[in-house]
A = this chain, B = another copy of it.
Amino acid sequence: MQTVSQNKSHGGTQGVYRHPSSETKTDMTFSVFVPDHAAGARLPVVTYLSGLTCTHANVTEKGEFRAACAELGLIFVAPDTSPRGEGVPGDPANSYDFGLGAGFYVDATEAPFAQNYRMWSYVTEELPQLIAANFPVDTTRQSILGHSMGGHGALTVALRHPDRYRAASAFAPIVAPSQVPWGNKALAGYLGSNKAAWRRHDAVALIEDGARFSELLVDYGDADNFLNEQLKPELLKAACEKASIPLTLRRQPGYDHSYYFISTFMADHLRWHAARLKK
Chain A interface (Cβ within 8 Å of chain B)?
A: 7-11, 14, 61-62, 64, 66-67, 221, 223, 254-256, 258-261, 263-264, 267
Contacts and interface: CB of A to CB of B under 8 A. Distances in A.
Contact of A263 (B66, B258, B260, B264): B66
Given A8-B255, A223-B8, A254-B8, A64 B64 contact: yes
A60 to B, nearest CB: 9
A100 B116 CA distance: 41
Contacts of A259: 61
Given A61-B62, A255-B8, A260 B223 contact: no
A129 B61 CA distance: 32
Given A61-B61, A64-B67, A263 B9 contact: yes
A64 B63 CA distance: 9
B264 A9 contact: yes
Given A9-B261, A61-B62, 16 more contacts: A7-B256, A7-B258, A8-B223, A8-B255, A8-B256, A8-B260, A8-B264, A9-B260, A9-B264, A10-B264, A61-B61, A61-B259, A62-B62, A64-B64, A66-B263, A66-B264
A126 to B, nearest CB: 27
A62, A259, A260, A263: residue with the most chain B Cβ atoms closer than 10 Å: A260
A59 B166 CA distance: 34
A170 B64 CA distance: 21
Nearest to A11: B264
Nearest to A14: B260
A4 to B, nearest CB: 14
A8 B61 contact: no
Which 6 A-B pairs have CB atoms at the shortest separation, nearest pair first? A9-B260, A7-B260, A8-B254, A10-B264, A8-B255, A61-B62
